[in-house]
Amino acid sequence: MSPDQKSNRNAMVIMAVLFFVFGFVTWLNGPLITYVKLAFGLDTDSRAFMVTTAFYMAYFFLALPSSWVLEKTGMKKGMAIALMVMALGTFLFGKYATDRNYPLSLAGLFIIGSGLSLLQTASNPYISIIGPIESAAKRISIVGICNKVAGIISPIILSAFVLKGVNELEAKVQSAPDEQVKEAILTDFASKIYNPYLVMAGALLLLGFYILRSALPEIKTSEANLQPSHSENAKDKTSIFQFPHLWLGALCIFFYVGAEVMAGDAIGTYGKGFNIPTDETKYFTSYTLAAMLIGYLIGLFTIPRYLSQQNALKYSALSGILFSFLAFVTHGYLSVAFVAALGLSNALMWPAIFPMAINGLGRFTEKGSAILIMGIAGGALIPKAFAALKEQYDFQATFFFIMVPCYLYILYYSVKGYKARG
């Protein structure tokens, strides 16, 4: 094995750990919606979905500043700083959730999202350009497996430590003889979040220091191994606005992340629409992530040998439309199962969209990556729209008419949008 190959292998191991970490943190949002609605006595799902709004809007506001930070620090140091920011946000969320201060708890989630914005702005192009761009989806699938394994585990762990016996707790709150007893019950419940988040904050801080001192190689995006025809064209560009495939890709990520969060974080609320008990719905996020894991395994063994990134995205979008329709025309656990199956549809979308959208950007790669990361704001707005609209309209119809347009646009990008060149 050559020194470059060994260096790249070690980098892949470190990146796999990082993707595990932000998968673990990100996919806690599903059960957190259940937690905050009960702990803070929220009267609507729309207010509880501020969890995803605060978390994912950080990507929109912090992605471009993250690219400026990375230009100064480099990708390696930027990743370390990101983990430390996440540690701060995790500590603050645990503290203020324990105090039942909802606005400051949301501020903690915003800080976590800010750290993740910096981490993803660095790590996604890093994993895309560490090898040939045409096999980037395969590398993203490898680290994506770690991400989704973490996503399966984290809701189970949070449910075990924080949401255990939540049905009985809901009954106690409803039968509380007065407001003082009710508040005491909820305060005791809210405090269960503190220790798990304190441990997470410590782990993130330690990992940040490890990355800082690690042998993770630095990569200059201007020297990235991009497709020659496209990277040569990038030399003639003077502005990030001269890459239409990038901007169309950012919109594609907006719709993709919105659909992903709908299938992953909103699935518990969707299940509650069928009066499925909270003790069961709190695990539904893990089912979606299990389906995504299967999708990543498919990508690992098929891309690019049997399936191009473009075709993987096209077939994923078509299956998303199909599963959304099947969820709409069925009921109960079967309908929930089709929502969980959307995890399979969503799995290969990020691994395909990201490298397709940054391909050929050359020296604009950091800024292009930041613009794509801004698209993650779809996870803030689309689920929030679902939570608000389902209070006025049938929740299944609302879900269907939100999801299908998302997948139709993704289908367009897979067929035509990614080809747009300035």
Are 245 and 416 spatial neighbours (Cβ–Cβ below 8 Å)? no
Q: Binning pLDDT at 50, 70 and 90, where does residue 1 land?
A: very low
Scan for tokens 């978390």, then name that residue. Answer: 55
Are 237 and 422 spatial neighbours (Cβ–Cβ below 8 Å)? yes
Scan for tokens 């990508």, then name that residue. Answer: 299
Model-level pTM? 0.84
Which pLDDT belongs to residue 125? 73
DSSP letter assigned to residue 175: T
CATH number (domain holding residue 85): 1.20.1250.20
Which pLDDT belongs to residue 375? 93
- Total of domains in the chain: 1
DSSP letter assigned to residue 308: -
What average pLDDT score do residues 70-84 get?
88
Residue 208, token pair as written in the block: 């940040």
* Residue 339 confidence (pLDDT) above 70: yes
What average pLDDT score do residues 277-302 get?
89
Q: Is 361 in a helix, a strand, or coil?
A: coil
Q: Please report, as a single letter, which amino acid is at residue 224.
A: A
Annotate 135-174 with b (16+ C-beta within 10 A) or e (fewer).
Answer: bbbbbbbbbbbbbbbbbbbbbeebbeebbeebeebeeebe
Scan for tokens 């201007």, then name that residue. Answer: 222
- Cα 193 from Cα 49, distance rounded (Å): 18
pLDDT tens figures, 239-279: 888 899 999 999 999 999 999 999 999 999 999 999 999 88
* Residue 123 confidence (pLDDT) above 90: no
Which pLDDT belongs to residue 223? 47
Query: Quick one: what percent of the chain has pLDDT higher than 90?
Result: 53
Q: Binning pLDDT at 50, 70 and 90, where does residue 365 land?
A: confident
What average pLDDT score do residues 217-243 get?
61
Which pLDDT belongs to residue 219? 64
Print the domain residue range for 198: 3-419
* Residue 136 confidence (pLDDT) above 70: no
First to last CA, the chain: 40
Closest C-alpha among 159, 156, 35, 170 to residue 105? 35
* Residue 416 confidence (pLDDT) above 70: yes
Query: Quick one: what percent of the chain has pLDDT higher than 70?
Result: 91
* Residue 369 confidence (pLDDT) above 90: no
Cβ-based neighbours of 207, under 8 Å, separated by 6 or more? 17, 18, 21, 83
* Residue 128 confidence (pLDDT) above 80: no
What average pLDDT score do residues 34-42 get?
92
Annotate 85-110 with b (16+ C-beta within 10 A) or e (fewer).
Answer: bbbbbbbbbbbbbbebebeebbbbbb
* Residue 232 confidence (pLDDT) above 80: no
Residue 366, token pair as written in the block: 């950091």
Which pLDDT belongs to residue 231? 47
Q: Binning pLDDT at 50, 70 and 90, where does residue 112 land?
A: very high
Q: How many CB atoms within 10 Å of residue 21?
A: 21
What average pLDDT score do residues 326-347 get?
96
Lowest-confidence pick of 3-7, 127-131, 180-184, 206-210: 3-7
What average pLDDT score do residues 17-46 get?
90
Q: Is 265 in a helix, a strand, or coil?
A: coil
What average pLDDT score do residues 170-193 get?
90
Which pLDDT belongs to residue 234? 57
- Long-range contact list for 8-12, CB < 8 A, 24+ apart? 8/130, 8/131, 8/217, 10/215, 10/216, 11/126, 11/130, 11/216, 11/217, 12/127, 12/130, 12/139, 12/142, 12/143
Candidate ranges 7-11, 44-48, 67-71, 301-305; pick with highest mean pLDDT: 44-48
Are 378 and 402 spatial neighbours (Cβ–Cβ below 8 Å)? no
Q: Is 95 in a helix, a strand, or coil?
A: helix
* Residue 389 confidence (pLDDT) above 90: yes
Closest C-alpha among 74, 30, 417, 57 to residue 248? 417
Q: Binning pLDDT at 50, 70 and 90, where does residue 224 land?
A: very low
Please give the torsion angle defined by the CA atoms of residues 379, 381, 382 and 388, in that order, rounded to the nearest 10 degrees: 130
Which of residues 295 and 254 earns the better pLDDT score? 254
Lowest-confidence pick of 5-9, 262-266, 277-281, 348-352: 5-9
pLDDT tens figures, 154-179: 988 988 889 888 888 888 888 888 88
Average pLDDT, the chain: 87
Residue 194, token pair as written in the block: 């503190």
* Residue 354 confidence (pLDDT) above 90: no
Which of residues 217 and 402 earns the better pLDDT score? 402
Q: Binning pLDDT at 50, 70 and 90, where does residue 226 land?
A: very low
